Every structure is written in C-alpha cells, then in structure tokens.
Structure 1
C-alpha cells in the first residue's frame, strides 16, 4: 500500500475523533489540557520534523485518542504512551489494533502522570525520543522532568503553547528568556521548529501553538550539582528586574557575599539574570560551593 493509502487507513480524521469520543462519552477537559489533534497533515508534519530513526523508542505524553500515536508507530520501533486519563489509556491499544494491527505489539500504554513517571515504570528498552502534543498547563515541568529522569532521551519534538515555545527556545537578552530557557538548556540544544494554528485541534484552544525541537547535549562542566545550579537560576529570576548582586542576596546569605561569589565566577555583579547563559549560572554555583573560589571561605 502506498503512503497515501496507508494514511487513509490508519490515521484518525476529524470524524473519526468525534465518533470515538462519543463512543467513550468523552468531553475534553481543560483541567487535563485535552486538545486533540484532528488534522492528519499536522500529525505527519510532527513526525517528519521529529526526524525519527527506525530503531527509536518514542515516549508520547498525553496520546489522547491516538492521532499522533498511529503516525509514530509507522516510523518508530516502539511507542510508550503515558496517559493519565484511565478511559483513554484503556482505549488506545484497541484503537491501534483496529487502525494499525501490525503495530499492536509495539505500543505500550503506561496509565500514569508524566510528572511522576520513572524509568522503572516504562519497561525496556527505555525511550530514545520524546514526541508529544503536551498539555499546556504542564508542558515545561513535563519536559524538564523527562529530560532529568530519562538520560536515554537523545532528542525530542513537543507541541506546546506558542508562548511556551518562545520561552523554551529563548536566548540570553530576550524579553522572554528565563527559568525555562536556562533549565532546558542544561539538558539540550533547544530551538523553535515552526508554528501550529488553532484549527488543527478539537476543541480549538484560545491560543496558538508551536513546535519545539530538542537535541540532548552534555551539561556545562562544573563542580556544582544540577540542583545547585538550578537554585541560582531560580533566585536570579525571582526578582528579575534587580541586579544579580541584589537578586542573589538571599540565596548567598548577604549582598556582599553574593558579590564575592559573582566576582569569583567572573560575572559582573551589576548584570541581570537575563544576560547570562546556562554556563554562566554553572560558574556562579561552582564558585559558591568551591571554598577556594570565594574570598573569605575555606
């Protein structure tokens, strides 16, 4: 069967989505961020942009009724679908068996909250790629959590609210650069991968969406831990308008100590958090935890 014919058979269209939702008595809820993709072209675009290899094991968060899941199964070795809604989690394997029966053995459904999922919940092999239409209200925490607990993830492509896409991919100096930008950069190179309109969803959200691509890389070399670096980031942006000397005063103990740490790290105390990249924050954290790095310590 050619690709066009295959799409007609396997992918879910708008009518299929509504029929399935009615069958399940499903009313998408804002609480769970349920906006289902109903456009086959968008689904194919997501999978194509994700650049999956045939041996990739994909983790999909919030598969919903399975629109994206089916397209992923046509490209990847396996899909691990993490679904918090028990009704949807129970239905997804049936949908795959009906629409793409040859892939039934390559779908694993984990009925769980993605914010609490651990490697041992997923079985083997562990995921190598994250591809998902993420609920808007938990998109950033989910991405950061999965990058943290799943070092096997080499790449990702997530669809998120357009504003969130801007923040995740922002660079130093940008007005939207902040905590999500820096924490994501700890794990990966992050870039925007294109806009997505509202009409491809059911129900249509009140905001536009965007695709964000991630490619895993090593974090900055530092003697400080991830938790210590992230604590500096959180403190720097808790009072975004203040200089780092002032913003980090509570974190360091005093403004004087904050200035000592910043100077030891080679950072101007009069600068602001939005001017620094993740490596700069790593140097600040390292200076704070290395006695010989800060005058008056040791």
Structure 2
C-alpha cells in the first residue's frame, strides 16, 4: 500500500469515520494517529524487523497495525471496542498477517493467546498507542506476566512516560519509576505533539521504550514488601524517609528499630525518598524481611 493511501492521514481517517458513522468514546481514551512519519519513528525505536512478531493493544482504525504488518512478520492486536470490527476488516483487508482479538487485554490470558498466534521462540515486540486511562495497569500487567517479549514500545501521556523513565533526584522520580525499572530498562525515545492525533488529546505524548531485564534489577527477599516500602517512602514526598517509614511501620516497629534498620542499610534517615536508588531501596527493604 503506498504512503499516500496509508490509514494514518487526516483525509483517510475522516473518510472511514464518515463511512461507518463512527464516534469516539471518551471513556475508552480513543485518539487515532494521523501521521505516518510518527508511526515510522515508533517502529524504528521499537526495532521492528521482518522476522519480528508484533503485538499491539488498541489498534483503533488500524493506522499502526498497518505499518506493523508492512514491517514485521505477523501482528496480533487486542481491541476492546467491538464497534471497530467492520472498520478494521475494511482498512486491513489487504493484509493476511494480522490477527485481531476483540478482548480486554487486562482480562485476557496473554500467555495462552500469544502461544496460539506465534511460533515458539519467535522474537516478539509489543508496540502500541495506549489509551491514557489504562496505561499503568496495562504496562504493569505486561511486565509482571513474564511474557516472551523482548521489549515494549508505547505512546503514552508524556508526564507518565517521564515518571516511568525517571532517575533519582528528579521531580518525576517516584514509586512508579522503581516499579517499572525493577523489571525493565526505561527510556523516553520520542516526544509527540497533540496535533498528530484525531481527536487531539489535552496533553502531550511521548514514546516510551522498555527493554525486559533477564533478571529483576535488584535482589529482594519479598517483592510485595519491597514495593510496599517504596510506595510508603514516597507517601509524603517532602517528609524524610524516617518519618514516612515510621508511619508505614506504625505498630510493627518503633522509631529506634527503624533507625537501626536504616543504619544497617547504610542509609541516612533524614534523606528523602527521591534521593534513593533502586539498589538502596532493595537493601533497606531486605532489612525489614530478614
């Protein structure tokens, strides 16, 4: 399909919207991409090649799906909105290497569906323009499910992308940064203006590239305790680590016991959570679980 007929143009998008009388559902966070250059840059950042299997979430009208079909071996897309079925059947009719599953990805058995659609040991990458309202639950599920994915490259709200990729001693750094970077390396690879979407969202977007780690970034004795401690440490950002931990462990550890744990981990309790690296958080959490 030639570039001038690509789905990701304002004229093609408007034509299909009119043809099927489709109306955007705000509750589903539907913002369709209308710029092929942006899609090309996303595929480049994702490292999609002809031997790659691609997974997409929220194909919408098929703009990104089409480009994935052109540049990868095969595509599996999850779409929650059944109203898009006739449109996608039309826009993607020329491609035999696309499978669309009409299912909520948060409720789907991803391991099972991936096994059914791809060859064993096929290189798999997830590439998507995610609905903003479910960005964090979707990415968290993808990272925790131990799927056979090499990487995740997603267009998401810029503020959230910045938080996921943030490093210590920055405003954006917080418990979300650590939760994501525990499982993957994170990098913001592209900033995208509102003008490449229809309808235009109220916020700017960024493309976040996550590469799965073979092992978590740090060793922790108990993951749930580690994440709970991290979240509590950022509970009130302006307060010291000692104060936030005292609140978190109230009734379990007194202030002297918490101070002793901090000393054992080699951490000054007057520091704020945003100054601690993921390694320091792991050392501290392990003090409370051993």
TM-score, structure 2 as length reference = 0.89
2:208 and 2:160 mapped to 1: Cα distance?
Answer: 9
Cα gap change, 1:179 to 1:114, in 2 (>3 Å): farther
Cα gap change, 1:122 to 1:89, in 2 (>3 Å): farther
Aligned counterpart in structure 2 of residue 21 of structure 1, from 5, 12, 17: 17
Question: Equivalent residue for 1:56?
Answer: 52
CA shift digits 1:199-247 (9 cap, x unpaired): 1100011221111111111213424233222111111112222111111
Query: Is this contact kept in 1: 2:62–2:88, CA < 8 A?
Result: yes
Query: Is this contact kept in 1: 2:59–2:65, CA < 8 A?
Result: yes
1:6 and 1:22 mapped to 2: Cα distance?
Answer: 22
Query: Is this contact kept in 2: 1:59–1:127, CA < 8 A?
Result: no
Quick check: 1:39 aligned with 2:35?
yes
1:123 and 1:155 mapped to 2: Cα distance?
Answer: 15
SS of equivalent residue, structure 1 residue 31: helix
Runs (5+) with no aligned partner, structure 1: 291-298
Query: Is this contact kept in 2: 1:160–1:209, CA < 8 A?
Result: yes
1:215 and 1:42 mapped to 2: Cα distance?
Answer: 21
TM-score, structure 1 as length reference = 0.86
Question: Equivalent residue for 2:242?
Answer: 245
State the number of aligned residues: 281
Runs (5+) with no aligned partner, structure 2: none
Question: Equivalent residue for 1:270?
Answer: 270
Q: What displacement does 1:72 show?
A: 0.8
Cα gap change, 1:246 to 1:75, in 2 (>3 Å): same
Quick check: 1:117 aligned with 2:69?
no
Query: Is this contact kept in 1: 2:77–2:100, CA < 8 A?
Result: yes
Query: Is this contact kept in 2: 1:169–1:191, CA < 8 A?
Result: yes
Aligned counterpart in structure 1 of residue 225 of structure 2, from 224, 228, 242: 228
SS of equivalent residue, structure 1 residue 248: helix
Cα gap change, 1:127 to 1:238, in 2 (>3 Å): farther
Name the Cα RMSD after superposition.
2.1
Cα gap change, 1:83 to 1:236, in 2 (>3 Å): same
CA shift digits 1:154-206 (9 cap, x unpaired): 11211111211211111100011112211111111111112101111000112
2:240 and 2:107 mapped to 1: Cα distance?
Answer: 35
Q: What displacement does 1:127 show?
A: 7.5
Query: Is this contact kept in 1: 2:5–2:12, CA < 8 A?
Result: no
